[in-house]
Amino acid sequence: MKTATQLIHSIPIDELTGAISVPIYQSSTFVQESPGINKGFEFSRANNPTRKVLEDLICNLEEGYAGFGFASGMAAIDAVLKLLKTGDEIMAVEDTYGGIFQAFNHMFDRFGIKVNYVDTSNTDKVLANITPNTRIIWLESPTNPTLKISDIKSISKIAKQHNILLVVDNTLSTPLVQQPIVLGADIVIHSASKYLAGHTDVIAGLVVVNNKSLADQIRFNQNVSGGILSPFEAWLTVRGIETLCLRLEKQCSNAMTVATWLAAHPAVDKVFYPGLATHKNHHIARKQQKYYGAMVSFSLKNDNIKNAIRIVNATKLFKLAESFGGVKSMLNHPATMTHRVIPEDFRKKAGLQDSCIRLSVGIEDAEDLINDLKQALEKLNHPAGKQITILQ
Ligand SMILES: *Cc1c(COP(=O)(O)O)cnc(C)c1O
């Protein structure tokens, strides 16, 4: 079966009632016949039938060994980082998600876990930076907002040779765009709050692992730390994933149209979109991705914060908000919003300019989206507008 069919039909019909929509099993505990003899469920922190449908679904889509549902992407990341012990080191992609930077630098560092940020889009640098204590290589591909791509397959070979776990945060891509486990990764992480749930109405996280030993460890961490996904959010996430194929195809094709248009605009300096032949890592994206994703970033020729804010304040269809991946188009100014927790020198080193604007392209008509950006970019020709306040 093709992916679109498989996705829809791997969501089971409820055996008990025939319910075609996954039932929400809102129960904390399950009655047992005799101690230890039960229908596979004991207590919902450990396992819940609604959550299990989602966990099996994501495991299927990523072609892994087991899937796990968490209360947020960050709770999923927390469960993976708790595979480590004092003295272990992480090699992480340089422009990592802000929340992950906080977890690495301001939480797990207190437990003696060190992180080394490396430009993983250059595979040679990955090899050069391995130390005897490197336990995890942590990738996001593409990264956000500069959409750098790392070669997952080549890096997975290096990781295997050195007995290092390869973790890939696949939030920006979803398994329909790329399958890191198939490319050689050991663990995949998702913030399902983004494309998977897809309607900006859920906070959820998922982990998929590729073998039994990792599954046992993550199951233990999930149950002991307890950051589990509720039955209702699990149901909403399954319902979101049902339309993932349709949404993503439209969003990716809209993103390509918008990126191409932006690249020709006189006020625009750089456009970051892996689908453009001018993108630095386009050749890797072409090799490992089925689509190029629906995130587009761009910077301005007149590179400053005020100009970027003037634009993000002026769009009408693109809503100014953190997060991404929903059906409605959104935009954001990373330097003062999602990435403000990352120190300025660090931001600059990762190539994040002051004027960088990040678009999450939705399912609207591409022509309307372009007209919206057009009228917003025209505001740059009238700099005497409203006074702009920059929050620090
Ligand atoms: C949003 C996000 C997270 C965190 O997920 P939450 O669901 O917000 O906790 C992790 N990684 C990436 C790449 C993200 O975009």
Q: pLDDT per residue over 81-98, tens digit each?
A: 999 999 999 999 998 998
Residue 338 has pLDDT above 90, yes or no: no
The per-residue pLDDT for 155 is 98
Distance CA 32, CA 30 (A): 6
Q: Which residue has the higher pLDDT, 344 or 334?
A: 334
Distance CA 339, CA 344 (A): 9
Best residue among 96, 191, 295, 297 to mutate for probing ligand 1, ranked by most atoms within 8 Å of CB: 191
101-125: per-residue pLDDT in tens? 999 999 999 999 999 999 999 999 9
Residue 186 has pLDDT above 90, yes or no: yes
The per-residue pLDDT for 340 is 84
Residue 387 has pLDDT above 80, yes or no: no
The protein residue with its alpha carbon nearest to ligand 1, atom 5, reads: 73
242-270: per-residue pLDDT in tens? 999 999 999 999 999 999 999 999 999 99
What's the Cα-to-Cα distance from 85 to each of 111, 136, 274, rounded to whole Å?
A: 8, 11, 36
Q: 171: Cβ below 6 Å to ligand 1? A: yes
The per-residue pLDDT for 386 is 59
Q: Domain locations in the chain? A: 3-241, 245-381
Distance CA 67, CA 209 (A): 7
| Mean pLDDT, the chain, whole residue set | 95
Strand order in the sheet with 319-320: 268-272, 295-300, 357-360, 330-332, 319-320
The per-residue pLDDT for 390 is 64
CATH for 245-381, options being 3.65.10.10, 3.40.50.2300, 1.10.260.40, 3.90.1150.10: 3.90.1150.10
**Fold match flag (3-241 vs 245-381):** no
Residue 40 has pLDDT above 90, yes or no: yes
Residue 384 has pLDDT above 60, yes or no: no
Q: How many CB atoms lie within 10 A of CB 123?
A: 16
Task: Tell me the pairing of strands 114-118 and 89-93.
Answer: parallel
- % of the chain exceeding 90 in pLDDT: 90
The per-residue pLDDT for 241 is 97
Nearest to 119 by CA among 144, 91, 154: 91
Nearest to 75 by CA among 264, 207, 168: 207
Nearest to 80 by CA among 208, 210, 212, 237: 208
Q: Which residue has the higher pLDDT, 381 or 78?
A: 78
How big is the CA angle at 206 (ends 203 and 212), to the nearest 5 degrees?
Answer: 160
Q: What is the mean pLDDT of residues 319-332?
A: 96
Q: 73: Cβ below 6 Å to ligand 1? A: yes
The catalytic residues are 45, 97, 169, 194
> Do 279 and 389 touch, CB atoms closer than 8 A?
no
Nearest to 217 by CA among 93, 59, 30, 65: 65
CATH for 3-241, options being 3.40.1110.10, 3.30.420.10, 3.40.640.10, 3.40.50.2300: 3.40.640.10
Q: What is the mean pLDDT of residues 330-353?
A: 87
Distance from the alpha carbon of residue 230 to the mean position of ligand 1, in angstroms = 18
Q: Which residue has the higher pLDDT, 179 or 383?
A: 179
